[in-house]
Structure 1
Amino acid sequence: MTRSHLCLLCLLLSLVNLAASQDDATIMQSLKSTLHLTPDVDWSNPDRCKWVVFQCDGSNRVTRIQLKQKGISGTLPPDLQKLSELIVLEFFSNKITGPVPDLSGLTRLQRLNLHDNLFDSTPKNLFSGMNSLQEAYLDNNPFASWEIPETVKEATSLKNLSLVNCNLVGSIPDFFSSHTLSSLVSLKLSRNNMQGGLPASIGASSLQQLYLNGQNLSGSISVLQNMTSLVEVDLQANAFSGPIPDLSGLQSLRLFNVRENQLTGLVPPSFTGLKSLTVVNLTNNCFQGPTPLFENSVAVDVIANTNSFCLDTPGTPCDPRVEALLSVAESFGYPVKLAKSWKGNDPCGGSWLGISCSVSNEVTVVDLERQELTGTISPSFAKLTSLETINLSNNQLTGSIPKELTSLPRLRTLDVSNNDIHGDVPKFSASVSVVTTGNVNIGPVSPTGWKSFRNRI
């Protein structure tokens, strides 16, 4: 390339930069006209790069707008997206109204902070093309109902996403995994109106902070066992159910808050033994079994009488009858209905659903007909050697009848009719009435084989 060509190229570049700089000046004047500034924000200098809260690069392109905590009202102009050199855009803790403008042209933007304002809507393509964005905070804005946009996937450098108390609805999308957002370490979606469960894909994330408290979320929290980078998790005030999974792989976990859910089952030793724990809140659930015993260094809020623990004293084992019945409940997935009823340390001394006892306080009947049970039949029924009747009819149970039940010396009736039990029926004593009608796959043939047989006839 000749010297003249180089000079021409430099001239063209300078003209482009000049034009872009002039565009920035126009947009800044537009911003000034749409905002109602307070006296401590001086934008009177003809050189916009000398305005308070602005910063420019060597070409007089605007790189930072940090107008925060000034009590400013007004709206944002629609052409902010033309400030293509912006790295930081902050208007947090003001009184700005109207829509968040389309910012999809801001490919260099690293921090977007609009929290604590009065914005009423977001663009559908929010986050589109923002592949440099690392932090986004839109908390505490009265947006019209909106869902987390698919375009979040385009913010591939995102580390912190905070959308607290901003009227989110819908479900948690399935792209918060390290395959899509490999840098994401903090996800805060608290105090919204989201529904549904935790997507399986979130288990493949590198999240260290997960805040989902104050929503309408439900289902299992088993995916947490795969989130080995977690340091803080807050699921308070939702409708999560089922047991706490094995969290022994979460060696950095410090804060665990599941207060005010419908979690059931035993609090596992793999959790109570975590050395990293500092704060645990289990209050207002349906946890069962022994009240958990944590290290003295852990600030614990479990409040035994707000759960279904057998005894108030942490670490004290339950009565063997209770242990056996809870093992039975485990095979059903620790249903909430049972957890709310099976409280205390004496299944014969209260109103335990489906449980009847003899005068000597031996469990003689387990009658759980039509209780919408799922899961399988537990071999632990055999631990209740005084059982005379087991009625599990008209549920949605699967699996087979455990052969351990044939050892029950007093059993007279086993009714598993109208479920989806399969496999061979163990050989019981002639004195036992075994009712299996309504289980189309039961018998000596496997479910697959039985279906193949039926297809052939």
Structure 2
Amino acid sequence: SNSDPCHWQNVRCDSDNRIIRIQIGSRGVSGSLSASIANLTNLQVLELMSNNISGPLPGLKGLGSLQTLNLHDNQFNLIPPDFFDGLTSLQEVYLDNNPFKAWSIPDGLKGAASLKNFSANSANIDGKIPDFFNSDTFPSMIHLHLSSNHLQGGLPTGLSGLGLQSLWLDGQTDSSGSRTLNGTIEVLQNLTQLAQIWLNMNGFTGPMPDLSGLTDLQHLNLRDNSLTGPVPPYLAKLPSLRLVNLTNNDLQGPMPKFPATVSSDLQTGKNSFCLSQPGLDCDSRVNALISVLEPFGYPLQFAENWKGNDPCDNWMGITCSNGNITVINLRGKGLSGTISPNFAALTSVQTLILSRNNITGTIPDALATMPNLKILDVSYNHLYGKSSMRRHSTPVQW
């Protein structure tokens, strides 16, 4: 055998006989990775993926020229907290499918300012998605893949500045199987270069954000969350969309109809679409009631209760007479946000009770046009300002 590693298969050297590449993926290699690898200070590419290498990963501090680190699909069991320290040239990292002891993404990664791809699916990561995933730290990042880990908390606002083309954060759970990634997905509306969004099997709540600017979006997987509110109509018109999965949320309003070019999964599941046939509009009373929830953030309790296409059929807080809504009583429902002027579309309402919530803002002037309104109770909220209701015959309880 040749003692000069520059002549070894799967090893490449530069003109000064310094090792710059080690590429031994899928070679049936076992054993552990020696800490002396950090002495190969000119190494640019280290590919050991799809082998059976085990034990802890050593620190790689000396590898300041390393651009590609591919360790996925091995048996590594520990990643040290200082693992990324000194790896200032890193562009691509693949750590997927290793049985690491639980770890959080360390601050040391921030030094890799040229990072484009960070992939660590099924790598036993816990903690929050770091705030340093932003355009100041990683101006070139295009792929962030962290599926099937134990990440918790919400999506950091800094994500919105990244030029991401794919974002995989699906399936974040704790040891008991509870979903640990939550909050809203509002940040997506600023990620206008995204082609793939995988946020399925999490605990996200609130409405679907405005994705109309995501003209390159091909795959949108939001199934198995607790998203509420209507599916925005523009979604079916996104030019690049090929796959959309919204099954098993708490979505409301009409079931959207997607063109034949889009593979769509919209099984009703726990969704609250008014009708089970795509493309049919809801009853006007249903549309009006769902629209008044918008400034309140489409609370989950309403999505879970206001089902079907007849608000007079046991909808929470709704009383009817001969098919006309006469009373809306949303007292003490934990509502925050402002009062929608769209209440005015419900012209048959005689009594509107919004007391004992956390509502802010003013009473919309539009409510003064409700012809049958006799009682308006907005007491025990945080409203302010003058209201044209004061010049109206309706008694207002503040």
Q: Following the alignment from structure 1 to structure 2, what is the Cα–Cα distance between the partners of residues 284 and 427? A: 41
State the Cα distance separating 1:341 from its structure 2 match.
Answer: 1.0
Structure 1 counterpart of 2:165 = 208
State the Cα distance separating 1:56 from its structure 2 match.
Answer: 2.6
Tell me the SS of whatever aligns to 1:270: helix
State the Cα distance separating 1:147 from its structure 2 match.
Answer: 1.3
Are 2:58 and 1:97 aligned? no
Letter in 2 for 1:50: H
* Conserved? CA contact 1:177–1:206, under 8 Å: no
* Conserved? CA contact 1:305–1:312, under 8 Å: no
Letter in 2 for 1:166: A
Structure number, greater radius of gyration? 1
Q: Following the alignment from structure 1 to structure 2, what is the Cα–Cα distance between the partners of residues 160 and 135? A: 5
1:293-332 pair list within 5 angstroms: 293-332=257-296
Equivalent of 1:407 in 366, 369, 390: 369
Structure 2 counterpart of 1:392 = 354
State the Cα distance separating 1:188 from its structure 2 match.
Answer: 0.2
Are 2:233 and 1:258 aligned? no
Cα deviation digits, residues 196-235 of structure 1 (max 9, x gap): 1111111111100111100121111111111111111110
State the Cα distance separating 1:429 from its structure 2 match.
Answer: 7.2
Tell me the SS of whatever aligns to 1:79: helix
State the Cα distance separating 1:413 from its structure 2 match.
Answer: 2.3
Q: How big is the alpha-carbon RMSD for the aligned residues of Structure 1 and Structure 2? A: 1.7
Tell me the SS of whatever aligns to 1:364: strand
Structure 1 counterpart of 2:176 = none
TM-score, length of structure 2 as denominator length: 0.94
Equivalent of 1:83 in 12, 33, 40: 40
State the Cα distance separating 1:133 from its structure 2 match.
Answer: 1.5
Tell me the SS of whatever aligns to 2:150: coil
Letter in 1 for 2:6: C
State the Cα distance separating 1:149 from its structure 2 match.
Answer: 1.4
* Conserved? CA contact 2:60–2:86, under 8 Å: no
Q: Following the alignment from structure 1 to structure 2, what is the Cα–Cα distance between the partners of residues 427 and 245? A: 33
State the Cα distance separating 1:89 from its structure 2 match.
Answer: 0.8
Equivalent of 1:226 in 185, 190, 210: 190
State the Cα distance separating 1:48 from its structure 2 match.
Answer: 3.0
State the Cα distance separating 1:390 from its structure 2 match.
Answer: 1.6
* Conserved? CA contact 2:389–2:396, under 8 Å: no
Are 2:244 and 1:280 aligned? yes
Show structure 1 runs of 5+ residues with no match: 1-43, 437-457
Are 2:10 and 1:53 aligned? yes
* Conserved? CA contact 2:10–2:22, under 8 Å: yes
Structure 2 counterpart of 1:180 = 137
Equivalent of 1:132 in 79, 89, 92: 89
Q: Following the alignment from structure 2 to structure 1, what is the Cα–Cα distance between the partners of residues 343 and 334? A: 19
Are 2:378 and 1:416 aligned? yes
Letter in 1 for 2:310: D
Structure 1 counterpart of 2:175 = none
Q: Following the alignment from structure 1 to structure 2, what is the Cα–Cα distance between the partners of residues 410 and 185? A: 56
* Conserved? CA contact 2:144–2:167, under 8 Å: yes
Q: Following the alignment from structure 2 to structure 1, what is the Cα–Cα distance between the partners of residues 159 and 291? A: 30
State the Cα distance separating 1:327 from its structure 2 match.
Answer: 0.9
Equivalent of 1:241 in 202, 205, 212: 205
Tell me the SS of whatever aligns to 1:256: strand
Cα deviation digits, residues 241-267 of structure 1 (max 9, x gap): 111222121111111110111111111
Structure 2 counterpart of 1:352 = 315
Show structure 2 runs of 5+ residues with no match: 173-179
State the Cα distance separating 1:175 from its structure 2 match.
Answer: 2.3
State the Cα distance separating 1:132 from its structure 2 match.
Answer: 2.0
Q: Following the alignment from structure 2 to structure 1, what is the Cα–Cα distance between the partners of residues 151 and 247? A: 22
State the Cα distance separating 1:125 from its structure 2 match.
Answer: 2.2
Structure 1 counterpart of 2:388 = 426
Tell me the SS of whatever aligns to 2:6: helix
Q: Following the alignment from structure 1 to structure 2, what is the Cα–Cα distance between the partners of residues 242 and 158? A: 32
Structure 1 counterpart of 2:151 = 194
Q: Following the alignment from structure 1 to structure 2, what is the Cα–Cα distance between the partners of residues 232 and 105? A: 35
Which range moves more in the overlay, 275-284 or 297-306? 297-306
Are 2:161 and 1:161 aligned? no
* Conserved? CA contact 2:368–2:392, under 8 Å: no
Cα deviation digits, residues 249-290 of structure 1 (max 9, x gap): 111111111011111111112222111111111111111111
State the Cα distance separating 1:307 from its structure 2 match.
Answer: 1.2
Structure that is richer in helix per residue: 1
Equivalent of 1:336 in 275, 300, 307: 300
Q: Following the alignment from structure 1 to structure 2, what is the Cα–Cα distance between the partners of residues 338 and 290? A: 16
TM-score, length of structure 1 as denominator length: 0.82
Are 2:382 and 1:382 aligned? no
* Conserved? CA contact 2:218–2:240, under 8 Å: yes
Cα deviation digits, residues 27-77 of structure 1 (max 9, x gap): xxxxxxxxxxxxxxxxx5433333343223333322222222233322112
State the Cα distance separating 1:184 from its structure 2 match.
Answer: 0.9
Q: Following the alignment from structure 1 to structure 2, what is the Cα–Cα distance between the partners of residues 318 and 63? A: 63
Structure 1 counterpart of 2:99 = 142
Q: Following the alignment from structure 1 to structure 2, what is the Cα–Cα distance between the partners of residues 299 and 193? A: 29
Structure 2 counterpart of 1:28 = none
State the Cα distance separating 1:129 from its structure 2 match.
Answer: 2.6
State the Cα distance separating 1:305 from its structure 2 match.
Answer: 4.8
Equivalent of 1:365 in 303, 306, 327: 327
Letter in 1 for 2:144: L
Structure 2 counterpart of 1:116 = 73
